[in-house]
Chains A and B, each alone.
Chain A
């Protein structure tokens, strides 16, 4: 069964802390997406990756194909990073299976 699990479900941290959000999946994939959803509801695509590592500003996404695991890191976290971060996986059928999201709150 194609499954996507994220951890933690909720994460609260102080401004400036290094943040890690994890995503594990059950079987081989063709691509993994990291998405950001702000309280208003809109979703922004952060990364799409199938191997290795990608970096954009303070955000870093890594994926380990052998371990079926991806992480999203945020360096020097800021209150504006507060959002729900969603992992979504393409298991090769060109449809995305979504995790339930990690709610991140950064306290000033």
Chain B
């Protein structure tokens, strides 16, 4: 148990659907992250929030929309996705810079 909870664990959605991924941490961490892990590829950073402000948007398509309503919760809103967006989406948190990351178990997304 890492203290970071992601829901749902699995999600299948059509290309015209709208869905949201949720991440929650009660570790008191100030920074939260969204990562994408595609098959055979390294983890890719998507978004970083520090103290609820977005500090990094790593050239992610606008069909992915993050939201951080408070320091404990992070969402990733999905709409009009493509099949190549199928991947494992991982949320992480950390106390701040130069600190280890605490990852959730991920949401395995399949876009049909």
Contacts and interface: CB of A to CB of B under 8 A. Distances in A.
Nearest to A47: B100
Given A41-B88, A41-B108, A44-B2, A98 B43 contact: yes
A33 to B, nearest CB: 7
Interface stretch (A12-20, A64-72, A89-97): A89-97
Interface residues of B, number: 22
B102 interface: yes
A100 B41 contact: yes
Nearest to B96: A94
A48 B90 contact: no
B53 interface: no
Contacts of B88: 41
The CB with the most chain B CB atoms within 10 A, among A33, A97, A98, is that of A98
Contact of A42 (B42, B98, B99, B105): B105
A94 B103 contact: no
Contacts of B104: 42
A44 B103 contact: yes
A31 B2 contact: no
A107 interface: no
A89 to B, nearest CB: 11
A90 B103 contact: no
A100 B56 contact: no
Contact of A41 (B41, B90, B98): B90
B49 to A, nearest CB: 14
The 8 closest A-B pairs by CB, nearest first: A42-B105, A41-B106, A43-B103, A98-B42, A45-B100, A98-B43, A48-B100, A94-B97
Interface of B: 2, 37, 40-43, 45, 56, 88, 90, 92, 97-106, 108
25 contacts: A4-B42, A33-B101, A35-B101, A40-B105, A41-B37, A41-B88, A41-B106, A42-B2, A42-B103, A42-B105, A43-B90, A43-B92, A43-B101, A48-B99, A48-B100, A88-B43, A90-B98, A94-B97, A94-B98, A96-B45, A96-B101, A97-B42, A98-B43, A100-B42, A101-B42
